[in-house]
Amino acid sequence: MATGKARSSRRSSSPTSYSSTTITVVFVALSMLLIWLLFSNSFSAPQSISQSATKTLSKITSISHSHPSKPSIDEVHPVHEDIQGELLHDSTVKSDDLMNKLEDAQANDQAHDQKDASSDHDTILADKDTSTEKVDEAMDERNKDEQEAKQENDVSKTDINDATTQANLNDQISTLDKDTKELPVEEQALKDQVFEESSMTHKEEVEQITKENQQVETQPIKNIDQESNGTQSSEETQVGKNPQAGNANITQDQITNEDQEQRVKDQHQQQEDGQIQKENPEGQLKDPQGATSDDQVHQDETPVNSFEDVHTSQKIDENNEQVKDQETSTDGERNMTSLNQQMNKETSSKKNGEASFPNGESTETPKESNQLKESWSTQVDHSENQKERRKDHALKNKDRSTDGYTWHLCNVTTGTDYIPCLDNEKLIAKIYNRKHYEHRERHCPEEPPTCLVPLPRGYKRPIDWPQSRDKIWYHNVPHTLLAEVKGHQNWVKVSGEFITFPGGGTQFVHGALHYIDFIQEAVPDIAWGKRSRVVLDVGCGVASFGGYLFERDVLTMSFAPKDEHEAQVQFALERGIPAISAVMGSQRLQFPSKVFDVVHCARCRVPWHADGGALLLELNRLLKPGGYFVWSATPVYQKLEEDVKIWKEMTDLTVAMCWELVTIKKDRLNSIGVAVYHKPDSNDCYEQRKKNYPPMCKNDDDPDAAWYIPLQSCMHRVPLQENERGSQWPEEWPKRLQRPPYWLNRSHKGIYGKPAPDDFTADYKLWKTVVSKSYMSGLGISWSNVRNVMDMRSVYGGFAAALKDLKIWVMNVVNIDSPDTLPIIYERGLFGIYHDWCESFSTYPRTYDLLHADHLFSRLKKRCKLVSVMAEVDRIVRPGGKLIVRDESNTIGEVEKLLKSLHWEIFSNISKKQERILSAQKSEWRPHSYAAPS
């Protein structure tokens, strides 16, 4: 400049020029020091300058160093006006405004970058509380080490400290904005260009992160203990969406230290959200609409397992500080995964003196919803007689103490074969009218017996299936009458220490398999094991028909009365074939309506044509619309006068019932004939009948009511609506086992509170998990020795369904005061019966290998004495047989005391929270004293 040259010529001749020059040099040095301090403070402020602003400042500074002008001393920094005042009178040099404008440009760039970053992160996080924590998405590499060190020191600071730091930063930016001045046109244009390039790069990064964040928000949040190195897990948690987990799928290279801190908080928020859901009342389930109920199925998904450990999130909260320390390291996510796995393992281990369930199986079992009474009926609701019986039970069973009980042998004439409800001799003696076999029906003692049934002399552990189908130990069922009477028909034979069963019967002397195939050939549509899965065998004898149908994948409910055909049902059960003692008399059988695919009667001595066809009408109630009745009896193929008369009456009756006679087939090998009838699957025939006889049942008659319900000589209409049970045939076996029945409506709440189809599926998954992970190996049970099984409190039949691949059968019992789910059990190709465990079950002693009781005894002890219930359990379980009990801890304690007093061996007794699981094995111990005669 011209002024610079003039000053230079004067200083060369002035005596004071040396002093002035010295002062100027000193002032310039001080000014440069102040500038350095200013820049150093600016860079060291945490979370204040973005990468784009730093690059812009670097480029502009390099340009300013090559500019011919020098900054004026009085414009170095507006904060130091006192220094400027002292030195202005000694300096005649005026400089341009470049340095001040460069500094102002830097401040302006900081303000712009701060505004853009804040706006972009508001879009990403959508949360004003977290937006200030993510001002900068791409910190300069030069400052990373410094920021990481600071991050380690500040990781435990609260959000309030972060907000204070940001407020101070905003104040600095505002101060710089006020003093911003114009740059020369050339420098301003270059700065704008660099700033624009930097902003576009940052914008593209923000757009990419925003896009990834939106993808994350559309998916359920991943479980934090399944993330590693920033990648997403393939399994979803049950927490649901969390708007604060926006960076769930940003890779490790993109995560800055600020991102690490935010991810720690997001993960903690996920855990808190998960804990809130898991703290819902035990048993709650969410339906697809988001509604919850009071009861839950164990989720696993699960099956199984929908019931994961509910204490995991609590354990994480207790170790929160340990989690923070792990997350602040460079391998924070890997450490977090390792820590969560360790805590999950600890949670499933023994806690507070309680052992976890085998193989980590959850202790949480579903509980029934409180809304069941509104949507589910029970057998008690139908039986007025049963309501009175329950009142009497409640009055007589006030004292239910299990302490110090002394056992005695039952003092009854039937001895080792005692069935309390069928051998009530005093009450049976008072029955004078026996026309309808009333004396063969159930007549239970007013006071349930608490005595024990003795063992037959020489009793041995039963022979395993399938060898037991052909022979049993003679001393286990030491009855020879059938062998003497029916030996020539190949029913039963005595062979040394064995009783053998050649596989024949009155109608199939040459073997049951030939007879079964003969029926299939007569009516191919029967399709054993596919279309026809569940069969009712009336008057079964020793149940060889049902025993051989297992080879065709068919499950048969066989029954016969306890009559002069000595021990026929006992033989069947000892062989390992399903059977109950029952009679078709004056009351309905204990099954729901429309559940059997086929009803079979081989020369059964049932007067179908008598009393207006009352007994055949009972079969009509039990048979599915479109099902078959197979009748092989002498009236079908013989021409004796009585047979001809019965055939004519039977023909008239079946025509009036709209049953179609499909075929009459002769079997020359066995010299018998079979008549097969088809039940209508529509109401057309009923509406076209000339006479209303037999009559159609009244609308208020529930066909599913079966507990102490008198026979009704009427027919129920065929359901026609798509969502009505019986309106269509179920799927072929085995597909029907695991699929919810078509008639389960989603608007109808299931037992555990979910929509009924979802409830069904969750129950199935639960029991598959429980059986495979706990029951198969964790309870000391050798399943190869198990054949006859009873689920004493079945809901959907999930326990039985989970055992499908084993060579066993399961009698599913639906309690009379429980929701009536027995039709669902039959629909899926299983079977069962209604029962009240305050009474004796209609089976012989020593007929089951294993009993399973899920939350049964805690319910029963409110109505019955546990002593009498355990006496019944001891009666029907074989020596060496097992009992599995899942129930509340206090109830398990009572059961365990009674089992020990019965000399049962406790194999497993494990618990967690308020639930316990117990398995025990029956011994051969019997008391020596007899009970006093009743």
Residue 475: the pLDDT is 96
Residue 308: the pLDDT is 33
Model confidence band, residue 104 (pLDDT cutoffs 50, 70, 90): low
Q: Higher pLDDT residue, 608 or 154?
A: 608
Model confidence band, residue 269 (pLDDT cutoffs 50, 70, 90): low
DSSP line for 138-188: S--GGGHHHHHHHHHHHTT--HHHHHHHHHHHHHHHHHHHHT--PPPHHHH
Q: Has residue 100 got a pLDDT over 80?
A: no
Q: Has residue 294 got a pLDDT over 50?
A: no
Secondary structure of residue 545 in the 3-state scheme: helix
Pick from 1-10, 114-123, 606-615, 879-888: least confident: 1-10
Say what percent of the chain tops pLDDT 90.
49
Residue 934: the pLDDT is 65
Mean local confidence (pLDDT), 148-158: 48
Task: Name the helix (H) or strand (E) containing 305.
Answer: strand 304-306
Rounded CA separation 811/800 (Å): 8
Write down the mean pLDDT value for the chain: 74
Instruction: Give whichever of 247-261, 332-346, 370-384, 903-917 has the largest mean pLDDT.
Output: 903-917
Task: Name the helix (H) or strand (E) containing 895.
Answer: helix 889-901
* Residues in contact with 331: Cβ distance below 8 Å, sequence separation at least 6, in sequence order: none
Amino acid at position 442, single letter: R
Q: Has residue 374 got a pLDDT over 70?
A: no
Residue 229: the pLDDT is 40
CB 274 within 8 A of CB 313: yes
Rounded CA separation 453/412 (Å): 9
Cis, bond preceding 303 (omega within 30 deg of 0): yes
Q: How many residues does the chain have?
A: 934
Residue 66: the pLDDT is 44
Q: Which fold has domain 467-922?
A: Rossmann fold (3.40.50)
Burial of 383 (0-12, 13-18, 19+ CB in 10 A): buried
Mean local confidence (pLDDT), 927-934: 86
Question: Which two structure tokens, joined as six digits, stand for 871?
Answer: 């006496």
Residue 114: the pLDDT is 52
Which residue from 561, 553, 572 is spatially nearest to 462, judged by alpha carbons?
A: 572
Mean local confidence (pLDDT), 578-607: 95
Handedness of CA 783, 786, 792, 795 (dihedral sign): positive
Using one digit for the tens of pLDDT, what is the confidence trace for 732-763? 999 999 999 999 999 989 999 999 999 999 99
The shares of helix, strand and coil residues in the chain, as percent rounded to the nearest 5, are: 45, 15, 40
Q: Has residue 901 got a pLDDT over 60?
A: yes
Task: Name the helix (H) or strand (E) containing 539.
Answer: none
Residue 932: the pLDDT is 84
Mean local confidence (pLDDT), 784-793: 97
Which residue from 746, 787, 748 is spatially nearest to 881, judged by alpha carbons?
A: 787
Using one digit for the tens of pLDDT, what is the confidence trace for 444-480? 999 999 999 999 999 999 999 999 999 999 999 999 9
Rounded CA separation 397/894 (Å): 16
Which residue from 662, 655, 657, 630 is spatially nearest to 715, judged by alpha carbons?
A: 657
Model confidence band, residue 384 (pLDDT cutoffs 50, 70, 90): low
How far, in Å, are 150, 264, 326, 339, 724 from residue 321 at the CA level? 18, 11, 9, 12, 57
Helices (H) and strands (E) in the chain, counts: 32, 19
Mean local confidence (pLDDT), 803-829: 96
Model confidence band, residue 782 (pLDDT cutoffs 50, 70, 90): very high
Rounded CA separation 822/579 (Å): 17
Q: Has residue 770 got a pLDDT over 50?
A: yes
Model confidence band, residue 380 (pLDDT cutoffs 50, 70, 90): confident
Using one digit for the tens of pLDDT, what is the confidence trace for 836-863? 999 999 999 999 999 999 999 999 999 9
Rounded CA separation 540/336 (Å): 64
Residue 30: the pLDDT is 81
Residue 375: the pLDDT is 64
Mean local confidence (pLDDT), 9-35: 64
Q: Has residue 406 got a pLDDT over 70?
A: yes
Rounded CA separation 70/519 (Å): 113
Rounded CA separation 402/450 (Å): 12
Mean local confidence (pLDDT), 503-523: 89
Q: Has residue 132 got a pLDDT over 80?
A: no
Amino acid at position 702, single letter: D
Using one digit for the tens of pLDDT, what is the confidence trace for 594-645? 999 999 999 888 999 899 999 999 999 999 999 999 999 999 999 999 999 9
Question: Which two structure tokens, joined as six digits, stand for 205?
Answer: 């990064």
Task: Name the DSSP letter for residue 228.
Answer: B
Question: Which two structure tokens, joined as six digits, stand for 159?
Answer: 């959000």
Mean local confidence (pLDDT), 209-228: 42
Q: Has residue 190 got a pLDDT over 70?
A: no
Q: Has residue 539 got a pLDDT over 70?
A: yes
Domain ranges across the chain = 467-922
Q: Has residue 683 got a pLDDT over 70?
A: yes
Pick from 167-176, 285-294, 485-494: least confident: 285-294
